[in-house]
Amino acid sequence: MATADPCRPSQKILFDDGAACLTLSLYSPLLRQPPHRHDRPSLTFLLGGSVEERVGSGCAGGGRGAFGRKAEDIRHSNVYGPDGAILLTLSLADPLLWRAHGQDGWCWNPVAEAIRPLATAALSRRLPFEELVTEMLAFSRRRPAERRAPPAWLAETRARLWHSPDLPLAGLARDAGVHRVHLSRSYSRWFGESLSLFRLHRRTELGLKTMLHDGASPADSAAAAGFADQSHFARSVKRTIGATPGALRAMLA
């Protein structure tokens, strides 16, 4: 999906009332954006793909489910992952609205499934925009629970599944030297989602990459990502992103 400027995303403004603007953006795989600034503070929900953002000597970001907050005029650069990224961004023209909710600085937090209801409400236009803005600002003040790094064997298993989400559980457990039940329980405890849910979300991301970046049809994208049929893919996209594959592609065309 080409744009006039390769460093700029395909974008769709979902709402704009002058005080706040909500935008859905699609960034290309492996896109690098040089250091730049925005003149408005923003809240960003990462609906799919991944991004690494650098501010000064600090570096943060994440994959699907990550949430970022950035005050205005913060100089930053971005590198997007091999699947690109789908971002839902709320930018605020009214600085009082930002400060009233105690927003400041810059950070990324892994909030995972908690994002989904807000994304669905935004893309389906289920809530009045003013109410949606309030919900997003309140959400941004959440603090994730502190977590230690997972065991090396579990981190390696997750990395293998990220590249090949359909690897058999028995083989993964054997290679890690643990029982498959221990693997499943450990994964849920450390990463906050089950192995089966991670597999489903990862296949969904791969299907979206094929559809949005490679121009494949929803049916071909579903097959390439390992879904049983197009309807299964469509249901997963709707649950994960908040819109059907066709509606999502139309918004980002």
CA atoms within 13 A on the CB side of 205: 26
Residue ranges of the domains in the chain? 10-139, 152-251
What's the CATH fold of domain 10-139?
Jelly Rolls (2.60.120)
Tens-digit pLDDT string for the chain (253 aa) = 444 455 678 999 999 988 889 999 999 999 999 999 998 999 898 989 999 999 998 998 888 888 888 988 899 999 999 999 999 999 998 877 777 766 677 888 876 566 677 777 788 777 788 888 888 887 776 665 556 789 999 999 999 999 999 999 999 999 999 999 999 999 998 888 899 999 999 999 999 999 999 999 999 999 999 999 999 999 999 888 888 999 999 888 7
**Nearest to 107, CA basis, from 64, 150, 58, 147:** 58
pTM attached to this predicted model: 0.86
Dist. CA 187–CA 194, nearest whole Å: 7
Q: Residue 183: is it exposed, middle or buried by C-beta count within 10 angstroms (0-12/13-18/19+)?
A: buried
The CATH architecture one would assign to domain 152-251 is: Orthogonal Bundle (1.10)
Q: How far is 171 from 188, CA to CA, in rounded Å?
A: 18
